[in-house]
Structure 1
Amino acid sequence: MTQVRKAIIPVAGFGTRLLPISKAIPKEMVPVVDRPLIQHVVEEALAAGINEIILVTRQGKSAIEDHFDAHYELEETLEKKGKDALLKTLSEIAPPELTITSVRQANAKGLGHAVYCAAHLLAADEPFAVILPDVLVKPQVGGDTCDLGRMVERWSSTQASQIMVEAVPQDEVYRYGIVDCDEPSAGESADMRGVVEKPKPEEAPSRLSVIGRYVLPYRIMELLRDQPPGAGNEIQLTDAIDRLMQEGKTVQAFRMQGRTFDCGHVEGWLQANTTLAREAGYDI
Structure 2
Amino acid sequence: MDHVDLRYASVISQYTQRELTNETGTINAVSALTNAFTKAFKLGSVPSKAFRFGMALADLNHALLWQPAQNVLLTRRNILGQAPSPSWSWAGWRAPVEHRVPWSTVLGHPIVVESLIRAWYICEHGALAQLDVRPIAGVGFPEEGSRRRYVPPSERTDPEQAPHASEGALVFRTTAATFKAQRINGVQVNEDARYEVFAILPAAGRIYLPRSTRSPLDLRLITLPRCNAVAGLYDTQVYGDTYSGGCFLNVMAVQESEQRKLERMGIGIIFEQARIEANPAEEQVCLG
After TM superposition, the score normalised by the length of structure 2 is: 0.29
- The structure with more helix, counted as a fraction of residues: 1
After TM superposition, the score normalised by the length of structure 1 is 0.29
Task: Give 1 or 2: higher strand fraction.
Answer: 2
